[in-house]
């Protein structure tokens, strides 16, 4: 990472950071209750 940052500081590359946490205001996990032994549809 230090090498990448120094190359970016020198203008040799453009360094971008990406957040892989997957944060979203809309959950991809269903939220709800169902009786034991049955699945939510």
Percentage of the residues of the chain whose pLDDT score is greater than 70 = 80
Can you tell me the mean pLDDT for 25-31?
69
Other C-beta atoms closer than 10 Å to the C-beta of 8 total 13
Q: Mean of the per-residue pLDDT values for the chain?
A: 81
In 3D space, the residue among 31, 4, 6 whose CA is nearest the CA of residue 17 turns out to be 4
Residue 21 has pLDDT above 70, yes or no: yes
Instruction: Determine the pLDDT at residue 29.
Output: 67
CA distance 13 to 29: 38
Confidence category of residue 14, pLDDT binned at 50, 70, 90: very high
Per-residue pLDDT at 20 exceeds 80:
no
pTM: 0.44
Distance CA 21, CA 11 (A): 28
């Amino acid at each position: 990472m230090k090498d990448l940052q120094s190359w970016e500081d020198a203008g040799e590359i453009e360094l971008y950071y990406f957040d892989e946490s997957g944060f979203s205001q809309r959950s991809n996990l269903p939220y709800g209750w169902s009786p034991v032994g049955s699945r939510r549809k």
